[in-house]
Amino acid sequence: MKKQVEEVINQIRPILQADGGDIQLVDVDEKTGIVTVGLKGRCGGCPHAQLTLQAVVERKLKEAVPGVTAVERV
């Protein structure tokens, strides 16, 4: 599961980097399906970061990786 999550995050990364941000995978809890990420750069302080997290990152992960239930930010 972790490898699949990393692959999806690597696909999302260029989108965030284009706006001066980045994403870092912190943890994948395979029991609960919760993926923890850190947002960096402009994404870290952006008022739209939560929307990006849910609308882009969480949606893509749930679509691509069976078992992902949520994405949380540290």
pLDDT in tens, 33-48: 999 999 998 888 878 8
Enumerate the β-bridge partners of residue 27.
36
Task: Give the pair of three-digit tokens for residue 18.
Answer: 């284009």
The CATH number for 37's domain is 3.30.300.130
> Which whole-number Å values give the CA distances from 70 to 17, 19, 29, 41, 58, in the listed order?
22, 24, 10, 22, 6
HSE, side-chain direction, 13 A CA sphere, residue 50: 1
Computed on alpha carbons and rounded to an integer, the radius of gyration of the chain in Å comes to 11
Our count of domains for the chain comes to 1
Model pLDDT for residues 3-29, shown as the tens digit of each residue: 999 999 999 999 889 989 999 999 999
pTM over 0.85: yes
Range of the domain at 19: 2-73
Task: Give the pair of three-digit tokens for residue 43.
Answer: 């994404």
